[in-house]
Amino acid sequence: MAKLKGNERSQKLKPRMSDQIDSNKSSVFKMSALNIILTIICIGVAVIFSYRGYLETRVNTPYDVDKLVNTAKLNNSERYWGSYRSGVYFGMKTRDPYSLVTGLMWYFPHFLRQGGEGLRHWCEQSDKLDRYAWLEHDGETFGVQEIVDAGAILNTSFVKKPGGRHGGDWTARIGVRSEKGERDGEEISLLFYSAIEEKTNGKIRAVLGEKNRLTGMEGNTEGLGFFTINLIPTLGDIEEHSFLATVAPGLHLLKETVLQNLRIASYKGSTKKHIVLGGEQLSSTHDGTKLEPNFIVTQVTAKIPFEFEISFESGSFIDRREKLTGERYEKALREKRQLFNEKFENIFKLSSKGYRPDEVDFAKMAFSNMIGSIGYFYGSAQVQSSYTKEPVPYWKAALYTAVPSRSFFPRGFLWDEGFHGLLISAWNLDIEVDIISHWFDLMNVEGWIPREMILGQEALAKVPEEFVTQVNTNANPPTFFLTLKYILDHNRDELLRKHHHFLEKLYPRLQAWFKWFNTTQIGDMPGTYRWRGRDSTTNRELNPKTLTSGLDDYPRASHPNLDERHVDLRCWIALAAGVMSQIAEVLKKPGSKYSDTYDYLTDNDLLNQLHWSPRTQTFSDYGLHTDRVILKRPTPSPRSQQSADMVRVVLEDPILRYVDSTFGYVSLFPFILQIIQPDSPQLEKILDDIVNPDLIWTKYGLRSLARSSPLYGKHNTEHDPPYWRGNIWININYLTARALHHYSKIEGPHRAKAKNIYDRLRQNLIKNVIWQYKKTGFSWENYGDTLGNGKGCHPFTGWTSLTVLLMGEIY
């Protein structure tokens, strides 16, 4: 039975118009009556059009209350400069919409291939580096990174120094050595650049010294004022030194621009050939003036080991006593590192918990690479509503956010960010408040926040077309409530002391967000909720994906319809209502409607009525479902050349039922969001199911889907391998460990059992993530459930880094 929810609004308008026409009938003045009628019709049509226009623009109209981010103060902040180019191996930029950007590229001349293979710039899995990660990074003032490329270790570090009016100075040091001495003496070419975009209000130019060699760069931009960048070799001998000053077509084409300007040269008196940059490559306009460069690159070729410094100095920093270079740089870095290490131990207490130094080093890497890949993005996302014919641009906005993966997902994801927020809040509440502020400023007038934010040329260049448009009926788990709850539980005093104003301003946005979820995602039956965005018409997918739930291909009812109800979403809303009532209390606002909703949604009897399958004694979704679906290749017609894609074949009519032959992460939600009563029989059953190796228990953590589930390990289409159909994911495992910890601490008959499982699960997770890191050099998106091997993309220091909180037992 289909209901026309989307059309309700426009239907309401029509009767009103005809009512008016009826009531204006007059037999006396026929002409004027006709005029009136015509006028009214015109007004009516105008109303419909303007109402439609109004509906059309709602999707990209900002939510109309005070913004949380104060842009006027941006360049004053400790966080103005940073390693905010998440997707490059190394690059500094500011939190300006159109910042000056700086960055590093490198290659080994012997291994540079036509077409550019071998030139490193963006973090790419296809570069096949041995490893790379920030090993220490405090999110604000310094960082130390190691990149290992076929046995050569590139060490990139930076330290910032406040002063002047534009975010101060910074120095970076880039060193190359070889891991075991085996690449000593081999040549490497390092390229360091600065670039601006067309919309950057400012200029950059190359500074040339004797023999026309580039010694630095300088410039002037609106955000930075006047600045200089000096390049200072500090170790080793330079074999070749060349530069490029040119116009690049955009920040997404810097590597291509370099490749177009490389050529082979030999110097007088030498037969040796070098790959050099082309110098000044600026075309002139028709009146003969040269175009201004927007891209300046310097290249040094030297033998390993080699090291150089880049020192950025702000022109507004006038009382600078000493330069942040040479020994003073080393001293400053030493001090930063020491502070970092002390703070790390203070917060996570890993050494005092008895972790070995190599395990602590892993934790520092996992944490630092997460906080060190926080990015700053600017641009407009692409969104769509049912009232817009085509995708329309969101308003131009900035996003300061962590990212799941520097190589594969170097951009903001709404639900990932709530998990990142746990780790970041533990470290530095100011940073997390800043991140939350940016995300909530992206809310539109409907109370919706887009799920995936792809802002700016660089970010867009990394996204497949099908994922670009964000649809305003689609949700994503509201994990920021997890972060907020964490902050209220752990940093309440600091929050209220330093960020009270923020919380006050955030509150109306949280209310709008909650309302958006609690109205657009409700189910047909009272007390039920349903993820939108499932495709009910596809015959390609074995089980239509639920991208909005965050668990992509986790199996749900086979035939999406309005009767469906999703247990995980219901639990997310319960969590949200609980946190809303907590915040209302803190702010002394009336919050009873949130506590009522929380009580209602955590009422175990009602929950059991809606989601507890009596047959399997498990929590599950409900909907129009059959297990008997398969993918099959259609028999090719005699005339067709290629065989067609596989399609879904339904072998049995679906019926309304619990989706209870599926067991996995979704079944755990009432437990992991701590909704079930500690003395309930449901808790005991869940604990038993968790440790059952035929279901989800493995030596490496809990697999996402039980081995016994019909779609365990199955492709969704022949091109979509299983994703949340067995693999072990750290975010849900973290929440499970957190819940086990919770139920082991509160009074109840299952305490001891919970404690026992908690200890084992936690050990398994930590052991495997560290072991895989040692084995492969990376932290991974998810882990295989048979061998525990890293899978998906790498490095993935988004929620996989929650391992640090597991080690520190911080929940």
Closest residue by beta carbon to ligand NAG = 155
Span of 246-254, 589-597, 657-665, 799-807 interacting with ligand NAG by CB under 6 A: 589-597
Span of 362-370, 552-560, 592-600, 632-640 interacting with ligand NAG by CB under 6 A: 592-600
Asked if residue 690 lies in contact with residue 697, where contact means CB atoms within 8 angstroms, the answer is: yes
First to last CA, the chain: 44
155 or 608: CB nearest ligand NAG: 155
183 or 707: CB nearest ligand NAG: 183
75 or 301: CB nearest ligand NAG: 75
- Token readout for 650 is 């339904």
Residue of 94, 157, 368, 528 that binds ligand NAG (CB under 6 A): 157
32: buried, middle or exposed (CB in 10 Å: 19+, 13-18, 0-12)? exposed
Q: How far is the CB of 522 from ligand NAG (least distance, A)?
A: 6
Q: Give the number of other Cβ atoms within 10 Å of residue 321's Cβ.
A: 6
Tell me the H-state helices in 373-413: none
- What is the distance between the alpha carbons of residues 752 and 761, in angstroms, rounded to a whole number? 14
Site for ligand NAG contains 301 (CB under 6 A) = no
340 or 723: CB nearest ligand NAG: 340
Task: Mark residues 546-585: x for contact with ligand NAG by CB under 6 A, - for none.
Answer: -------------------------------x--------
Q: How far is the CB of 335 from ligand NAG (least distance, A)?
A: 11
Annotated active-site residue in 124, 186, 552, 759: 552
Residue 552 designated active-site? yes
Q: Is the dihedral angle over the CA atoms 573, 579, 584, 587 positive or is it negative? A: negative
Q: How far is the CB of 654 from ligand NAG (least distance, A)?
A: 27
CA 53 to chain centre: 32
Residue for token pair 């103005």: 80
One-letter amino acid of 550: G
Element (H, E) at 234: strand 225-235
255 or 570: CB nearest ligand NAG: 570
Q: How far is the CB of 601 from ligand NAG (least distance, A)?
A: 9
- What is the distance between the alpha carbons of residues 755 and 742, in angstroms, rounded to a whole number? 9
- What is the distance between the alpha carbons of residues 282 and 445, in angstroms, rounded to a whole number? 46
313 or 432: CB nearest ligand NAG: 313
- Token readout for 183 is 């690449």
Q: How far is the CB of 281 from ligand NAG (least distance, A)?
A: 31
Span of 205-213, 262-270, 555-563, 590-598 interacting with ligand NAG by CB under 6 A: 590-598
Identify residues 315-334 at the interface with ligand NAG (CB under 6 A): 333
Task: Mark residues 67-86: x for contact with ligand NAG by CB under 6 A, - for none.
Answer: --------xx----------
Per the DSSP assignment, residues forming a β-bridge with 452 are: 413
Q: How far is the CB of 81 from ligand NAG (least distance, A)?
A: 13
Q: How far is the CB of 585 from ligand NAG (least distance, A)?
A: 14
- What is the distance between the alpha carbons of residues 106 and 701, in angstroms, rounded to a whole number? 38
Q: How far is the CB of 92 from ligand NAG (least distance, A)?
A: 16
Task: Mark residues 522-541: x for contact with ligand NAG by CB under 6 A, - for none.
Answer: x-------------------
Q: How far is CA 530 from CA 204, 277, 561, 570, in A?
A: 53, 57, 10, 8
Site for ligand NAG contains 473 (CB under 6 A) = no
324 or 453: CB nearest ligand NAG: 324
Residue of 56, 130, 146, 603 that binds ligand NAG (CB under 6 A): 146
Asked if residue 145 lies in contact with residue 155, where contact means CB atoms within 8 angstroms, the answer is: yes
Site for ligand NAG contains 311 (CB under 6 A) = no
Q: How far is the CB of 647 from ligand NAG (least distance, A)?
A: 38
Annotated active-site residue in 446, 541, 781, 785: 781
Nearest alpha-carbon partner for 482 in 538, 417, 434, 535: 417
401 or 518: CB nearest ligand NAG: 518
- What is the distance between the alpha carbons of residues 680 and 529, in angstroms, rounded to a whole number? 23
Site for ligand NAG contains 593 (CB under 6 A) = yes
| E-only strand ranges, 687-794 | 697-698, 701-702, 782-783, 790-791
Nearest alpha-carbon partner for 736 in 698, 684, 789, 690: 690
- Token readout for 306 is 């080699």
Site for ligand NAG contains 137 (CB under 6 A) = no
List all residues 6 or more positions away from 273 whose beta carbon is below 8 Å from its beta carbon.
Answer: 264, 265, 266
What is the 8-class DSSP label of residue 557? -
332 or 422: CB nearest ligand NAG: 332
The vertex-487 CA angle with 485 and 489, nearest 5°, equals 70
- Token readout for 449 is 């926040």
Nearest alpha-carbon partner for 201 in 175, 221, 182, 216: 221
Site for ligand NAG contains 758 (CB under 6 A) = no
Nearest alpha-carbon partner for 807 in 484, 476, 344: 344
412 or 591: CB nearest ligand NAG: 591
137 or 166: CB nearest ligand NAG: 166
Q: How far is the CB of 594 from ligand NAG (least distance, A)?
A: 5
The vertex-801 CA angle with 677 and 405, nearest 5°, equals 120
Task: Mark residues 28-67: x for contact with ligand NAG by CB under 6 A, - for none.
Answer: ----------------------------------------
Site for ligand NAG contains 407 (CB under 6 A) = no
155 or 351: CB nearest ligand NAG: 155
Q: How far is the CB of 155 from ligand NAG (least distance, A)?
A: 4
Span of 165-173, 286-294, 502-510, 636-644 interacting with ligand NAG by CB under 6 A: 165-173
| E-only strand ranges, 236-294 | 238-246, 262-266, 273-277, 279-281
Asked if residue 573 lies in contact with residue 530, where contact means CB atoms within 8 angstroms, the answer is: no
- What is the distance between the alpha carbons of residues 120 and 770, in angstroms, rounded to a whole number? 27
Task: Mark residues 166-195: x for contact with ligand NAG by CB under 6 A, - for none.
Answer: x------x-x--------------------
What is the bridge-based pairing of β-strands 131-137 and 101-107?
Answer: unpaired
Task: Mark residues 475-514: x for contact with ligand NAG by CB under 6 A, - for none.
Answer: ----------------------------------------
Residue 781 designated active-site? yes
530 or 657: CB nearest ligand NAG: 530
Q: Give the number of other Cβ atoms within 10 Å of residue 39's Cβ.
A: 12
Identify residues 234-293 at the interface with ligand NAG (CB under 6 A): none
Residue of 165, 490, 745, 760 that binds ligand NAG (CB under 6 A): 165
Q: How far is the CB of 187 from ligand NAG (least distance, A)?
A: 21
φ, ψ of residue 395 to 5 degrees: the values are: -70, 155
Question: What is the DSSP secondary-structure string of 3-47?
Answer: --GGGHHHHHHHHHHHHHHHHT--SS-HHHHHHHHHHHHHHHHHH
Nearest alpha-carbon partner for 368 in 157, 587, 520, 143: 143
Site for ligand NAG contains 222 (CB under 6 A) = yes
Residue of 155, 281, 538, 626 that binds ligand NAG (CB under 6 A): 155
What's the residue count for the chain?
A: 811
- What is the distance between the alpha carbons of residues 218 and 315, in angstroms, rounded to a whole number? 10
Q: Give contact residues for ligand NAG (rule: CB under 6 A).
A: 75-76, 144, 146, 155, 157, 165-166, 173, 175, 222, 333, 518, 522, 577, 593-594, 597
Catalogue the active-site residues: 552, 781
